[in-house]
Amino acid sequence: MSDPGAALARQQALLAAMPWVFVGVWSTGFVVARLAMPHAPPLTFLTWRYAFSLLAFGLWIRAAGVAWPQGRAQWGHLSVSGVLMHAGYLGGVWAAVRAGMPAGTAALIVGLQPLFTALWVSGRGHYPVSVMQWLGLLLGLGGLVLVVWPKMGMGEVTAPNLALALLALASITIGTLYQKHHVRPADVRSANFVQIAAALVVTAPLALLEPGAMQFHPDLLVALAWSVLVLSLGGSSLLMMLIQRGAATRVTSLLYLVPPCTALLAWLLFGERMAASGWAGMALCAVGVGLVLRGDGR
């Protein structure tokens, strides 16, 4: 007979590991964008990604006999959050990278999300943000600046790619808050299917207007496979589970760790050098996230 205590301990260990697995998975998205963008227009690539992701989720849902979200309202809320968190966020990030913005810089701009989320939920009175959490958020912001500041001011940020990155920041921030407050807990597989389908409906027509065509380079195929199997099936599902289980500030604070991880991956894979201040910034981000997590009494 199995030991119920051991099974519970394993379950708790898996739940504790979820945020850190999510950070590792989500960080690869910016690196994958850099890998793929020389070989495909961003919205065209994302259209293919969404289509293959729907196929993968559909097979998974059918094999597991997963229930679909109940009610038109939930389908509508999932569609709105899907357009924001997939079409708006991913479209903005990938287009910004395609327009010449370094992956680390794009990660920094989108990494401001925790601060904006905390300002919103505090200002709206949804729940108080503690002094310890504010300190952690500000430390995390300082850490982000230390990581990517050496990459700024080198002509790599222009008005067009900055606007695209800010669109991504607004989309992921609003989408996370919208999902937290309007989407009821549901099976992440069927819920993700609805969200990605909505993103595909918005993205596919826009992709037809893009100049250029996909070049089926090995790097592109690797990026597409990783995007579908790891980022869509794994990363998006983990993000939805974390949003369902935690407060918005607590969840989005984890995104402070994404830019340092992205910078580290870019250094390992593409030889992008990281200044000493970058390593200090990574440590500061870790301390900041720790304070946010400890400051949440829920």
pLDDT in tens, the chain (298 residues): 456 666 666 766 666 677 778 888 888 888 888 889 889 999 999 999 999 999 999 999 999 999 999 999 999 999 999 999 999 999 999 999 888 887 777 877 887 777 777 777 666 655 677 788 788 878 878 877 776 666 665 667 788 888 999 999 999 989 988 988 898 888 889 999 999 999 999 999 999 999 888 898 999 999 999 999 999 888 888 877 777 766 555 666 677 777 778 777 877 877 766 667 777 877 787 787 777 766 654 4
Amino acid 127: pLDDT: 62
Amino acid 72: pLDDT: 92
DSSP the chain: ---HHHHHHHHHHHHHHHHHHHHHHHHHHHHHHHHHGGGS-HHHHHHHHHHHHHHHHHHHHHHHTPPPPPSHHHHHHHHHHHIIIIIIHHHHHHHHHHTT--HHHHHHHHTTHHHHHHHHHHHHTSSPPPHHHHHHHHHHHHHHHHHHGGGSSSS---HHHHHHHHHHHHHHHHHHHHHHHHPPP--HHHHHHHHHHHHHHHHHHHHTT-SS-----HHHHHHHHHIIIIIIIIIIHHHHHHHHHS-HHHHHGGGGGHHHHHHHHHHHHH-----HHHHHHHHHHHHHHHHHHHT---
